[in-house]
Structure 1
Amino acid sequence: MSPSWSRRHFLKSAALLPLASQASAAPAIVTGKPSTGLRIEEVKMAFEDFNYRVPYKFGGTAVDRVTLLNVTARVSNAAGKSVTGFGSMPMGNVWSFPSSTMSYDTTLNAMRTLAKRIEKITGGFQDTAHPIEINFLLEPEYLKAAAEVSRELALPTPIPKLCTQVTASAFDAALHDAFGKLLGLNCYQTYSTELIGHDLSRYLNADFKGESLASYVTPTPRDWVWLFHSVGGLDAVTPGELKDRLHDGLPETLGEWIQRDGLQRIKIKLQGENLEWDIARTVAIDRVARETRPDVEWKYCCDFNEHCPNVDYLLEYLRKVKEQAPQGFESILYLEQPTKRDLKADRQNLMHEAAKLRPVVIDESLTDLDNLLLAREMGYTGACLKACKGQSHALLMAAAGKKYDMFLCVQDLTCPGASLIQSAGIASHVPGLSTIESNAREYVPSANAAWTAKFPGLFDTRDGKLATKQLTGPGLGAVP
């Protein structure tokens, strides 16, 4: 029985079920490769809420709280060994499901409802397979569940694919963690064709025929990765911008963060709707950075969160920054998602001219290989990898990005705890990629409290780097 037949058979069978019963139906998928993977015995999820220390403004919206989705998956193998894997991810509804008509609570409730459906779908998977294969087979069912939830909740805008991927990512992470634990290996040592059961062409395209995912990741992490410190739209760059001090023992201005953490990399959150503000903000950040640490070779990421009206805005921004702060312009390492995430509806905003100046990477747009290839056609030269889109997705897009010679980076969803460990793992295992954000230490340090002492130099840094050499434990490495 071939895997492609089994997927068609499952989809056909599911289509025959009454709509009301599909949400709780257990997917009886048979892949025909029972000896190479895990078998899911039980999946459980829980939510955990934290308030932000200070609001984080990006994409025109200020976020002041986070709900974590924590997933445990008990799995077994053919020999009868049983282990439990763990995955965690912020429910980033403001980023993955932005809306001008629905409230924060409405979009978050949609994600929470969808998570319960995904819990049933994942827990009902009855075959033995590798986590990448499981995610490949189940993502269509996750998307179908998202459409059902959208209808049942009468949402004015359906749950988008990106949001579905974010909701499913903790489940995918738990399975990768569990599979590594079954084998007593770090998960980055489990991506061979023999263990997955297929080459990359099954999950990407014919360009990857005969290729193994293992050839695109390293089995051991690099010792450290650069930390990109985020400066949100409300963050104080200078002391004069502070209205009131928190006096909570943490830095409160950019200069204070630079001094305490030995920063050398900065992510600049920009508006994309106010050119003069964006230029002035960039110039001010560059000035403070150089005054605070004049000996540093600074690098910046400029993130517009898709709010630039067109590519001309981006080109004018670059021209003005170069004019007003030549060193600051030279320090721009890459530009992140300047215009709308729906590339098919925004085909006129080609990035070829901007990409001649600096790499232009897609972030919100990157939900699958088709969008990656479309972005390349439109002049994008890089791609952002995110744990919140799923471990399986991030690794497959890393392989595609490397194959097509694209600039790659890892970005955050203000990931605390286990989700930061997963994100840091990606950053430290993809060759040529050595940067990552770590926003939770700024905005929601309370969510890191239980993890900081266990992973020295990862959650609390003083040299501008995150220590990743220690992430060698079984599974995703969250066990020190």
Structure 2
Amino acid sequence: MTPPRFHIDDIRLAERDVALRLPFRFGAATVTACPQVYVRVRIRFADGRTAEGCAAEMMVPKWFDKNPTLTNEQNFEQLRFSLRDARDAYCAEDDAQTAWTHFASNHAALQDSARAKGLQALVAGYGPALIDRAVLDALCLHMGASFAAAMNANLCGIDIAGSGLADDLVGFDMPAYLASRSPRDRIAARHTVGLADAIEDDDALPEAPADGLPATLAAAVRRYALTHFKLKLCGNIAQDIARLERIARVIDGHAQLVTLDGNEQYADADDFTAFLDRMLSTPVLWKLAQRTVFVEQPLRRDASLQRDISALGKRIPLLIDESDATLDAFVQARALGYTGVSSKSCKGFYKSVINAARCTQWNAADRKPRHFISGEDLTMQAGVGVQQDLALVAWLGLSHVERNGHHYVDGLAAAPEAEQQALLATHPGLYELSDGAVRLAIRGGQLALSSLATAPGFATGKPGAGISWDAMRSVY
């Protein structure tokens, strides 16, 4: 099928405040509240017909730009600039284009525009990431196709050779790769243990919410029967080892797989090597170390791609996340000894597809599955945001994905009742009604994804996805 071409008529942006039930600490930042942005797009085809699509994403401070002199509100304004800049660029296009060329034709200019304002490349990618998801949702709804079906048929029109965005993949058979994907119907929820999290039941803070939900790691393991875990590191060797020892005592006997996340907290490879030596030589951590499959972004982004870390990478696989700021970052990282890269919705689903294709190409050349892509979260919330992220990682074939929004936020309790019920009706296996709100249903440590593979749209099911747009503020 020839990929459809269309104009983008309108892009609306709105926000809803999200208060966290527990503080989420990663690196040097602690988040207790932040806005969630919603994007609604209207596209128009040559015959005059239109379609609407949507997307949503949290505006997490101190991740896209970790400059400590910036306030949270300044971080939010950076992301709002990215959204406005992308909206103006996509709506200004004169010619009808495919979903892919709407992205590809604007990518370089939007990066340049953000750079001229002193903004990080991760910030520049935020606006297009949301708009591209909303655009694809509209296209899928217009065609009556699910996300998986649309990607298999390349309805986006992904054309690496004609874009200049990933020249290393010019000889790669992208249509065949897209057609070969088969979405998983279940995925393990990899539970985040943040730096402020209470570990054992006796650690629960006096101010912990009495909402019936877990307030400690031990309680979360019991409620969700967790088997996969993501453990945050602070960059202080003694503190990290002591905390991992306490965590190990709780998850031993449950953990099948563990990942570590440095969030840029180790100054250089030598410091992280010292941590790794200590962890591997600590008897209490032997089982945890055996189950640790990779370490995510241990080094600062300004240092991580400046030095060959191949020797360290041979001891334990290393993954880039914050350093994955440009479309060629994974190529640069691979040359230095990194073997993994994150799939994160706030960085754009096209980047995830490109990096997953790279893993396939490189592993075929190496004749072993050395390179990998992993699903990572940034307090992704129940609703269209988490649905689209799960649809993507399921289609990529990942067996586990970091999920933390269900733990740090009280499900959809802040959303109107009608919105909660609409989401539950569309995805009855993914959600459940419990403790007074609709929330993610994690059973046996797993999420059920079958409805995401068949729902029309980019995992929305219908235009607007049941979102109560009138209950949000339009600030753009």
Q: What is the rounded CA distance, in whole Å, between the counterparts of 1:139 and 1:193 in structure 2?
A: 23
TM-aligned CA deviation for residue 457 of structure 1: 4.5
- Asked if 2 retains the 8 angstrom alpha-carbon contact of 1:118 and 1:168, the reply is yes
2:309 aligned partner, one-letter code: M
Give the match for residue 466 of structure 1. Answer: 447
* Alignment partners' CA distance in 2, 1:312 and 1:346: 14
> Is the Cα contact below 8 Å between 2:147 and 2:391 reproduced in 1?
no
1:401 to 359, 362, 366: 359
Matched, 1:419 2:385: yes
Task: Report the secondary structure of 1:190's partner residue.
Answer: helix
2:435 is equivalent to residue 453 of structure 1: no
Name the residue aligned to 1:379: 337
The answer to whether the aligner puts 1:168 opposite 2:128 as a matched pair is yes
What is the CA-CA distance between 1:214 and the residue it aligns to?
A: 5.4
Q: AA paired with 2:190?
A: F
How far 1:246 moved relative to its partner?
Answer: 2.0
Shift of 1:331: 1.0
Distance 2:298 2:289 in 1: 16
Task: Provide the residue aligned with 2:66 in structure 1.
Answer: 98
SS in 2 for 1:281: helix
**Counterpart of 2:315 in 1: which secondary structure?**
coil
Instruction: State yes or no: 1:347 paired with 2:303.
Output: no
Amino acid paired to 1:267:
K
Give the alignment partner of residue 79 of structure 1, picking from 43, 47, 53. Answer: 47
Q: Please identify, of 299-308 and 128-137, the stretch whose mean Cα deviation from structure 2 is larger.
A: 128-137
Mapped contact 2:355–2:373 kept (Cα < 8 A): no
> Tell me, what secondary structure is at the counterpart of 2:190?
strand
Q: Given that residues 59 and 304 in structure 1 are in contact (C-alpha distance below 8 angstroms), is that contact kept between their aligned partners in structure 2?
A: yes
- The question of 1:38 aligning with 2:19 is answered no
Question: For residues 41-68 of structure 1, what are the alpha-carbon distances to aligned partners after superposition, in whole Å with 9 as ceiling and x for unaligned?
Answer: 2111111111111110001110111211
Q: Is the 8 A contact 2:3 2:156 kept in 1?
A: no
Long gaps (5+) in structure 1: 1-33, 151-157
Identity of aligned residues (%): 26
Secondary structure of 1:421 counterpart: helix
Tell me: CA distance 1:338–1:213, structure 2 relative to 1, closer, same or farther (3 Å). Answer: farther
Query: How many residues are aligned here?
Result: 432
Deviation for aligned residue 1:72: 0.8
Deviation string, structure 1 residues 277-303 (Cα, Å, up to 9, x no partner): 11111221111112xxx2x45211100
Distance 1:422 1:356, change over 3 A: same
Q: Identify if the C-alpha distance between structure 1 residues 421 and 241 changes in structure 2 by more than 3 Å, giving closer, same or farther.
A: same
Letter in 2 for 1:475: G
> Matches of 1:237 and 1:385 in 2, distance apart?
27
Please list, as runs of the form range in 1=range in 2, the aligned pairs for 1:351-366 lying within 5 A after superposition. 351-366=309-324
Letter in 2 for 1:253: T
**How far apart are the structure 2 equivalents of 1:456 and 1:437?**
21
Change (3 A) 1:120 1:277: same
Q: Of residues 241, 246, 269 in structure 2, which corresponds to 1:284? A: 246
Structure-1 separation of matches of 2:316 and 2:8: 45
Residue 200 of structure 1 aligns to a residue whose secondary structure is: coil
Amino acid at match of 1:143: Q
- CA distance in 1 between counterparts of 2:289 and 2:7 reads 52
Q: Which stretch shows the higher mean deviation, 217-226 or 467-476?
A: 217-226
Q: CA deviation at 1:194?
A: 6.6
Q: 1:83 to 1:339 in 2, by over 3 A?
A: same
* Paired amino acid for 1:133: T
Whether the aligned pair in 2 keeps the contact of 1:91 and 1:166 (CA below 8 Å) is no
User: Which aligned pairs between 1:2-151 and structure 2 lie closer than 5 A?
Assistant: 36-147=4-115, 150=117
1:183 aligns with 2:164: no
Assess if the C-alpha contact under 8 Å between 1:336 and 1:362 holds in 2.
yes
Structure 1 residues 166-218: Cα deviation after superposition (integer angstroms, max 9, x where no partner) = 23321111011111112111233334687444633334115432622551465
Higher relative contact order (CA 8 A, sep 6+): 2
2:217 matched residue in structure 1: 254
Amino acid at match of 1:365: S
Q: Which residue of 1 aligns with 2:277?
A: 319
Report the Cα distance in structure 1 between the residues aligned to 2:38 and 2:309, rounded to whole angstroms.
38
- Where 1:72 maps in the other structure, the secondary structure is strand
Q: TM-score, normalised by structure 2?
A: 0.85
Partner of 1:241: 203
Quickly say closer, same or farther: Cα 1:365–1:216, change in 2 above 3 A: farther
- Counterpart position of 1:215: 177
Q: Which runs of 5+ in 2 are unaligned?
A: 364-370, 431-439, 463-476
Query: Do 2:342 and 2:375's aligned partners in 1 also have CA atoms closer than 8 Å?
Result: yes
Contact 2:166 2:328 in 1 (8 A): no
Aligned partner of 1:82: which letter?
T
**Runs of 4 or more above 6 Å deviation:** none
